[in-house]
Amino acid sequence: RLSDKLQDVFKDLRGHGRISEKNITDALRDVRMALLDADVHFQVAKDFIARVKDKAMGEEVLRSVTPGQQIVKIFHDELTTLLGGDAAPLNLTKPARILVVGLNGAGKTTSSAKLARLLKSQGRAPQLIACDLHRPAAIAQLATLAEQVGVPVYQPQAGETDVLKVGREAVAWCDQTPGDVQIYDTAGRQDLDEPLIEELRRLKEFLQPQEILIVCDAATGQQAVNVAEKFHAALGLTGIILTKLDGDARGGAALSLREVTKQPIKFAGVGEKIEQFEQFYPDRLAGRILGMGDVVSLVEKAAEVINEDDARRMEEKLRKASFDLEDFLQQFRMLKRMGPLQNVLGMLPGMANLKGSSIDEGQLKRVEAIILSMTPQERTRPDILNARRRQRVARGSGTTVTEVNNLILRFTQMRKMMKNMGQMKKLMAQARKGG
């Protein structure tokens, strides 16, 4: 994975007190390979590296006390820019029509419903319109999802083939149904062909949508980029919905999509469930790619299941990296409440690497048992856990010394990661203030 490789490179850079031009050149070569491996378009990778190099070679960076961290910051900023800079909101000026397009299986229907749910949660009144007349089950699929999110849906007659007629009827229906945003789910194809483009062009002509969003499957990498480029040439896209970011997708698609279409990624699909969909924040993905962990989303997610005070305290701890085994346990318990572990683990600093490897619910119970078998003093100062104490803890928790050792190791690694991250944050805050 791209993030893993970049992490390795940065680990090296962070380690250096002084950095030479050669260090930078070597590191950038590695980064470029990692980007190409991750399916980033070669021109995009080349330009990106050139920009980073230009800034990294600056005197102030090389002479500074912490050149490694400065360079990581340059990477972070350039990645954020590459991903689109600021979050891009939807244009919802009346009549606020959103045309959702893309290939078959990209996630159009699912994303249409997810977007409706998100907008509804923001106080909007979305309406869903089924315009995929090619696949027999498509209309019913959207209707089911619409019911699930509690949003009105326009369903054309079965057997209808004229998409323009459907468009006209849908607009009339929208006029008579309470709502302020119209989301049109359209047909896709296996590959992009002229008849599909023609159909979408006519629909666009009639609807004059404020937004034309292409849905791209992150897992399809460079192919998604080519498809988006063609759709953009034919229809004039206004944004991108990047789906299946939860999978093993290589990060490259996200980086190239923006650069090639010049359109912002507006939303990200991060799972099959209807609520696994979010506004796309470039700087957060940049952070995640750099392996710093997405603290902001984690805290936001946490806030949904725990009360605000807890969230604030946890964020404080994450930032200051002053957490101990007690907090470690709290965190594990919180993860449990947050649902499927894999979703959340990737957001934790240093946990991206462990993702999917060794943590499951059973292990969570053992982690609990081990930490609960420690004295309060041992929990706050794990360094006093010598061999004899570890043996006692293992016996008390019904685990083995190896398991106890592993847990302490993992905790130590995590704390180190968080410390790095805390320094990063401080540095960035200073940089933003112009200091």
Q: Look at the block and give the residue holding tokens 């970011």.
A: 245
Task: For residue 70, state whether it binds ligand GDP (rule: CB under 6 A).
Answer: no
Q: Which does 240 bind (CB under 5 to 8 A by kind): Mg ion, ligand GDP, none?
A: none
User: 105 touches which of ligand GDP, Mg ion, none (CB within 5 to 8 A by kind)?
Assistant: ligand GDP
- What count of residues does the chain have? 435
Considering only residues 130-149, where is the footprint of Mg ion by CB under 5 A? Answer: 138
Quote the least distance from Cβ 240 to ligand GDP, whole Å. Answer: 13
Give which of 74, 76, 58, 64 is closest to 21, Cα–Cα.
Answer: 58
From the list Mg ion, ligand GDP, none, which binds 104 (C-beta under 5 to 8 Å, kind-based)? ligand GDP
107 binds ligand GDP (CB under 6 A): yes
Residue 346 in contact with ligand GDP, rule: CB under 6 A? no
Residue 251 touches ligand GDP, criterion: CB under 6 A? no
Strand partners, 184: 99, 129
The correct pick among 19, 52, 106, 418 for binding ligand GDP (CB under 6 A) is 106
CA 366 and chain centroid, separation? 30
Asked if residues 116 and 290 have their Cβ atoms less than 8 Å apart, the reply is: no
390 forms part of the interface with ligand GDP (CB under 6 A): no
Beta-strand relationship, 126-131 and 153-154:
parallel
Backbone angles phi, psi at 237, to 5 degrees: -70, 155
Apex CA 115: angle with CA 113 and CA 119, to 5°?
A: 120
Minimum distance from residue 158 beta carbon to Mg ion (Å): 16
Determine, following the binding rule CB under 6 A, whether residue 110 of this chain makes contact with ligand GDP.
yes
Give binding residues as ranges: 102-109, 185-189, 243-246
Mark the binding-site residues for GTP, compressed into ranges: 102-109, 185-189, 243-246
Could you tell me which stretch among 76-84, 190-198, 241-249, 348-356 binds ligand GDP (CB under 6 A)? 241-249
User: Which residue is nearest to ligand GDP, using beta carbons?
Assistant: 269
Q: Rounded to whole angstroms, how far apart are CA atoms 283 and 280?
A: 9
Identity at 79, one-letter amino acid code: L
Per-position x/- string for 89-128, each x denoting binding to Mg ion as judged by CB under 5 A, each - no binding: -------------------xx-------------------
Asked if 109 touches ligand GDP (CB under 6 A), the answer is yes
Please give the angle made by the CA atoms of 134, 136 and 141, to the nearest 5 degrees.
110
The answer to whether 21 touches 46, Cβ cutoff 8 Å, is: no
217 touches 250 (CB < 8 A): no
- Closest contact distance (angstroms) between CB of 290 and ligand GDP is 22
In this complex, which beta carbon is closest to ligand GDP, that of residue 134 or of residue 392? Answer: 134
Question: Can you tell me the distance from the alpha carbon of 128 to that of 118, in angstroms, rounded to the nearest whole number?
Answer: 13
Residue linked to tokens 């943590």: 359
Please say whether the beta carbons of 143 and 153 come within 8 A.
Answer: yes
Closest by Cα among 152, 158, 160, 87 to 113: 152
Query: Does 118 participate in binding ligand GDP (rule CB under 6 A)?
Result: no
Please state the closest distance from residue 273 (CB atom) to ligand GDP, in A: 9
User: Rule CB under 6 A: is residue 246 a binding residue for ligand GDP?
Assistant: yes
**Residues of this chain that bind ligand GDP (CB under 6 A):** 102, 104-110, 188, 215, 243-244, 246-247, 269-272
